[in-house]
Amino acid sequence: MIQKTEDGQDTLSIIRNCIPLLEKLAENSELLAGLTEPERIAFLTAAGKISRPDRKEIKKRNKEKKRLDRVAVVTRERSLRRDTGIRKAREATVFEAPKQIPLNTVRPGRREMVKKLESPRNCYICKAEFTELHHFYDALCPECADFNYRKRFQTASLKGQVALITGSRLKIGYQACLMMLRAGAKVIATTRFPKDSALRFSREADFSDWGHRLQVYGLDLRHIPSVELFCDYIKHTCRRLDILINNAAQTVRRPPGFYAHLMENENRDVGDLPMAAQSLLGQYQNCLKKLEYGQPNHVGREKALPVTWNGTAPGVGLRMSARLSQIPYSYDHTLDVPAVFPESKLDADLQQVDLRAVNSWRLKLGEIETSEMLEIQLVNAVAPFVLCNRMEELMKLDNTGQKHIVNVSAMEGKFLRFKKDSRHPHTNMAKAALNMLTHTAAGDLAKLGIYMNAVDTGWVTDEDPAVLA
């Protein structure tokens, strides 16, 4: 920390400027003759204290020197970690997945390029100490970092295979879709906001290579009858299913204001979207027509009416997946929406910034709304169960021995933890239920060549309120 004088000048600069003067006085001591006796005594006394400090002063100087050395090391190491690829990716205004840098261009005997830390750190994965900093990961030892970096870009041919993934619009789900599409798979992707999702995919630079193999459906997993209708439609229109990824999850419920910025596109007619985005929604539109068939009293009229959970037309979670996000709960009316969800303030994933001082991630038993607890169970446990239960028949049709069900879980759902925090018990119990589904069904499915696993993806989103994040 740079100290300054009362008039704002840098103290160290002033001290450095004194050095030439003191050297000149040492060579020409007669210059002191012009001082008065009290001035000369004061000058020599001060100089003596500096040149011949007592034990207390020496200890004080040494302590400050060590502190400054530590600050310098911390500052330098922060700078080194800030230059790693994963940190730079987080600083982007709009997130873009980092491109691969071949390892042989980073470390083939070019030791001068390797950045070293002065103070050892413990690897996030294996806990071993390390000082050599990886070019991409700042919290992993070189061995774990290289292994994970290779896994980050690992691929295999999925040509001819069909994958179904929920929660495909953002983050893990979006990137997983891209990986499977680029590997040659046909992908059926669900999201509550299908038009926004279609627009995002259509903007990818290599969209023309795989766009014809992607289908985007609107589906609100909170409405289980709609999930079952969706399963029926997929079973009747697809001849095979090789991969099922239950990725969609709700950790913190967001009020309608959080999603309001998405509704402009979601309320547009499909025909008003760019042709590339339209092509992704074709099968979804066919699904909606199937729902409307035989329901002439409902066709067209519901768009002019408020959306509710208890309408008479079937499949509201399919037909109105985006509009269901705008149904408020009674306690939502206490929010100052413009203040907590400021207009046009988006994060790196183009999601609304949430400035609420408290959300359910910080709440304990006795503080959580029952409605939110139920939503969490529906999205995180009940809907994945329905998808696994209804899609098993389709997955068994062609026993290739290479079928996979991936349930995206979290550390919160583990029982083998020595310490369990008391916050967000409703999300913990939902993930624990998903883990138990996996634990119960995996062995039997493996006999059919269907391999079910639960995956803890690690930290992706900081769910704490913005003031604490």
Span 299-355, pLDDT tens digits: 344 454 455 656 667 889 999 999 999 999 988 888 889 999 999 898 888 889 999
Q: How many angstroms separate the first and last alpha carbons of the chain?
A: 26
At position 259, the amino acid (one-letter code) is Y
Closest CA to 384 of 414, 406, 415, 401: 406
- Say how far apart CA 282 and CA 295 lie, in whole Å: 21
**β-bridge partners, 346:** 352
The series of mean pLDDT values per 10 residues for the chain, 469 residues long, is: 57 86 85 86 86 88 89 88 88 82 59 75 94 93 94 94 96 96 98 97 96 98 95 94 96 93 95 96 94 54 54 84 93 87 89 89 91 96 97 94 95 79 91 96 96 90 77
pLDDT of residue 110: 47
- Say how far apart CA 466 and CA 469 lie, in whole Å: 5
- Say how far apart CA 111 and CA 262 lie, in whole Å: 49
At position 23, the amino acid (one-letter code) is E
Provide the sign of the torsion angle of the four alpha carbons 129, 134, 140, 144, taken in this order: negative
Closest CA to 223 of 445, 394, 379, 396: 379
Instruction: Answer whether 435's CB lies under 8 Å from 414's CB.
Output: yes
162-456: which CATH architecture? 3-Layer(aba) Sandwich (3.40)
pLDDT of residue 23: 86
Instruction: Answer whether 162's CB lies under 8 Å from 172's CB.
Output: no
Give me the phi and psi of 162, to 5 degrees please: -120, 130
**β-bridge partners, 8:** none
- Say how far apart CA 324 and CA 310 lie, in whole Å: 11
Query: Taking the model in full, what pTM does it have?
Result: 0.82
- Comma-separated ranges of CATH 3.40.50.720 domains in the chain: 162-456
Cα–Cα distances (Å) from 45 to 23, 28, 42, in that order, read 17, 18, 5
**DSSP β-ladder status, 214-218 and 243-246:** unpaired
pLDDT of residue 177: 98
- Say how far apart CA 77 and CA 170 lie, in whole Å: 32
Instruction: Answer whether 94's CB lies under 8 Å from 351's CB.
Output: no
Cα–Cα distances (Å) from 319 to 157, 273, 323, 370, 373, in that order, read 34, 18, 9, 26, 24
Structure-block tokens of residue 329: 């709960």
Neighbours of 271 (CB within 10 A): 8
- For the chain, the farthest-separated pair of C-alpha atoms sits apart, in whole angstroms, at 112
Cα–Cα distances (Å) from 264 to 196, 250, 269, 343, in that order, read 10, 23, 10, 13
Structure-block tokens of residue 321: 């997946």
**DSSP β-ladder status, 450-456 and 214-218:** unpaired
pLDDT of residue 431: 94
Give me the phi and psi of 50, to 5 degrees please: -75, -45
pLDDT of residue 459: 78
Structure-block tokens of residue 123: 């690897």
- Say how far apart CA 146 and CA 92 lie, in whole Å: 23
According to DSSP, residue 134 is labeled P
Instruction: Answer whether 174's CB lies under 8 Å from 182's CB.
Output: no
According to DSSP, residue 7 is labeled T
